[in-house]
Amino acid sequence: MATVRPFARIALFLTVAGMGALLADGAAAQARDIGKYEFDTYCALCHGKDAKGGGPFSGLVNKKVPDLTVLSKNNGGVFPFEMAYETISGAKETAAHGTREMPIWGDHYKEKAPQDLGPYFAGSDVSSYVRGKILALVGYISTLQVK
């Protein structure tokens, strides 16, 4: 019976170590907000990090860049989810985003899919990948609304 105890201790140690690694991975995943990352990478150039429309490229467009923090306020206190999704995906044409010839974020995500999905790209549903990116971005924008 004495030989089982050291083995049990090793098994317990490996289990606890494995659980710790899983918890650390989960914490890292939660710390990385995909919607915030996408916003900071793409949207903040025009809309600014604060989403109020004063990003470094805002002066390069012909129209005033919208303040994304007042979408709910301008919609009777309800976040206009569908409008935001359609604007980002390209389903709804927005004057500030240009004509259909201009790359729309839905198209951008389709182009990025092979790179981002890597070996999982073959046979995958790219529309799910695109939808996930846009949903994360819309979700993040919804958290920026003024009260």
Average pLDDT per 10 consecutive residues for the chain, totaling 147 residues: 51 50 50 89 93 91 89 97 90 59 70 88 86 95 96
Query: Mind listing the pLDDT tens digit for each residue in 90-100?
Result: 887 665 555 54
**What SS3 state is found at 125?**
coil
| 28 Cβ contact list (under 8 Å, min separation 6) | none
Question: Considering just the CA atoms, what is the radius of gyration of the chain in Å?
Answer: 22
Q: Token pair of 45, please?
A: 């150039």
In single-letter form, the type of residue at position 126 comes to V
Global confidence as pTM? 0.71
Measuring CA to CA, which residue among 33, 30, 29, 64 is closest to residue 47?
64
Separation between Cα atoms, residue 55 and residue 142, nearest integer Å = 19
